[in-house]
Amino acid sequence: MVRWGKLFNSDGHDRRHRLQDEMRSLLPTRRERPPPPPMPPKEVTKVALRLKHQLEQVIPCELEEELVTKPHSHVLTPAVLATAKEAGGEDYAACVVYCLLVVQKWFKRQALAELWDADLHEVRAAAAETLAKRIIEDEEDHNYLMEHILLKRYSIFVDGEPTAPANVIERAVDLHALTVIGSSGYQKCIQHLWRGWLVQDDEDPSRFVHYEKKTNTSYWAHLDPDRMRVPRYQNALQIAISVAYLALYTGAINTINPSGDLDTVEVLLYIFTLGFICDETSKLWKVGRYYIGFWNVFNTTLYALLATSFVLRMCAYGAGHDDEKRGHYNTLSYDFLAFGAPMFWMRLLLYLDTFRFFGAMLVVLKVMMRESLIFFALLIVVIIGFLQAFVGLDLTDNSLQDSGFVIQAMLNAIMQSPEFDGFERFQHPFGLILYYIFTFVVMVILLNVLIALYNSAYEDITENALDEYMALFSQKTMQFVRAPDENVFIAPFNLIEMLCLILPFEWWLPRESYDRLNDYVMGFIYSPLLIVTAWLETRAAHTVQTNRNRGEDDDDVIQEWEQVMGECDFEADGWDKKVQQTKPNVEFDTAVLEVRKLQQEVSELKEILLELKDKANWGSDTLKESKLEEKGESSENVAREE
């Protein structure tokens, strides 16, 4: 059964610019199309266009991003939020959050295409992301939120074809939408995926369902090899394997065999390395160049050093005991093996990123490495220019003699240890002057530029350290969830799958029998871990049942301040009334509140003046009428007298 993650179109008709967004971290195993999305892509695209039009009208000019993203924004008002929710109507309401992320990507791309309005489009992109977060947090039905809004896959229409189906969880990770990732509903969904409470449906892998045995308190019900698909258990096993791998390396490097023979520790070390190489090669073949990242290059370099060490050991092993080549190759093999020691220890960081401290630091290092590209680009140009100048000075006597000295001196200058001796012989004083200029450019200008870039990257990440960690954790969770096969064989156990299952059985054994065989093998391999995971899930089942009996969420934890909360009734003792009377209004600034208060008082004063005016007018009218009546009576009396 294929576990469809974000699969790509194998027919080769998708555009390259679309693949760059749709194909990141995807691990398909078979060249099949994913199931069609639950909603028509054209309708989803129309919803996205409605939202894009709304944001263009709500933000018609360039604004400060803080005015849009702050909690009580006067730009993204409750009315704007309600209108955004209505963009999909009743039939397509669940895809609004997904469409907002699509709109965010559109505005980001428009900012790159229209640099003169880049700031405006960036603000609109931030507004789309903020609206998506508020819709997620306003949704009270958590089941509907997870199953339909966050985990259901949708497609849009591009170039006359629907894109690969994706859900909000995947889209936010790929777009690095920190605002959406940091929302409470999103993180709650990630935690359920991490614990295995939400799993892919066996009949329809494109949708996620709740784990049926979440409330089953039977120990044997959880002793299931399929539970190895849970990200938490896969991560724990990978950490254990990495520690064992490091222990094997430490044993191999500290027990040198001068005779050139292989011992058990070295054999296991090279078997583990072969498994990791096969795993990396398989993923690279399935995903393509989109799989290549910093850690992939790092691991590939380490595995290349170990492979070179193994080849040299085989060369030494093939030579005779009395042959000098045996000792030479054996020593060279251990040199390559020892050279990779720092990389072995740094490799542990790749599997410790689920811990908050290591995760935040890894994000900082990743951004610093990306910022370093600017420095190295400038450095390469400077080095080539000065190197050509030194070579030209060296060639004035028609002989190239000191190129090695020049290269070493330039590298020393980069490492802040310049050597000025020896440049007098480079057509004095031109060589020495050039080296002074090179040292000044590298040590004073370029290195300070690098320090400034590192400082800027560190400040940007540490300001959002918590959101960056949650984004890294979400990305790691989705890497496990996107795993395409229900048969999880983590390296080096993938060698067992390839040699003992795929090659001898997969091509002829019926599918049901082959799946059953895989379950037996996985149950045997992972039996020590499954014993522990079954016990943990049994305890979690008791907790879930207790929470449901109390009417709380499944993952609710009773904190110490909640233990006596049931005995408090703040409305009955009048405490809530006092609090409501004295609490400040934090939604608006004090100046705004004072102006509103003054406006209300002016309105009341205006009403009083109008009432006084009406009374005055009524009084004058009454006086006139009375005068007229008196005048009429007097005229009547005069007439009678006459």
Give percent helix, percent strand, percent coil of the chain, each to the nearest 5.
70, 0, 25
| Angle 263-269-273 from CA coordinates, rounded to 5° | 145
Contact between 146 and 192 under an 8 Å Cβ cutoff? The reply is yes
| Angle 591-594-596 from CA coordinates, rounded to 5° | 110
Among 11, 14, 4, 8, smallest CA distance to 35 is for 4
pLDDT for 472 equals 87
- List the structure tokens of 112: 């790159």
Contact between 461 and 362 under an 8 Å Cβ cutoff? The reply is no
Among 155, 168, 149, 160, smallest CA distance to 41 is for 155
State the Cα–Cα distance between residues 83 and 362, nearest whole angstrom: 40
State the Cα–Cα distance between residues 120 and 127, nearest whole angstrom: 11
Residue 531 burial (CB count, 10 A): 11
State the Cα–Cα distance between residues 607 and 140, nearest whole angstrom: 43
Region of residue 400 (phi > 0: left; psi between -120 and 50: alpha; otherwise: beta): beta
Contact between 18 and 158 under an 8 Å Cβ cutoff? The reply is yes
Q: What is the pTM of this model?
A: 0.80
pLDDT for 21 equals 45
3-state secondary structure of 166: strand
Contact between 33 and 9 under an 8 Å Cβ cutoff? The reply is yes
pLDDT for 304 equals 93
Tell me phi and psi for residue 210, to 5 degrees. -75, 145
Strand extents, DSSP E, 374-503: none
| Concatenated DSSP letters of 260-273 | ----HHHHHHHHHH
User: How many secondary structure helices (H) and strands (E) does the chain include?
Assistant: 25, 4
3-state secondary structure of 233: helix
Contact between 265 and 255 under an 8 Å Cβ cutoff? The reply is yes
Contact between 570 and 260 under an 8 Å Cβ cutoff? The reply is no
Give the H/E segment covering residue 209. strand 208-210
Residues whose CB falls within 8 Å of the CB of residue 134, separated by 6 or more in sequence, listed in order: 76, 81
Contact between 293 and 377 under an 8 Å Cβ cutoff? The reply is no
Contact between 345 and 354 under an 8 Å Cβ cutoff? The reply is no
| Concatenated DSSP letters of 82-119 | HHHHGGGTTTSGGGHHHHHHHHHHHHHHHHHH-GGGHH
Contact between 465 and 444 under an 8 Å Cβ cutoff? The reply is no
> Which parts of the chain sit beneath pLDDT 50?
1-33
State the Cα–Cα distance between residues 626 and 637, nearest whole angstrom: 16
3-state secondary structure of 8: coil
State the Cα–Cα distance between residues 175 and 101, nearest whole angstrom: 8
Q: Look up residue 463 and give its amino acid.
A: E
State the Cα–Cα distance between residues 423 and 433, nearest whole angstrom: 9
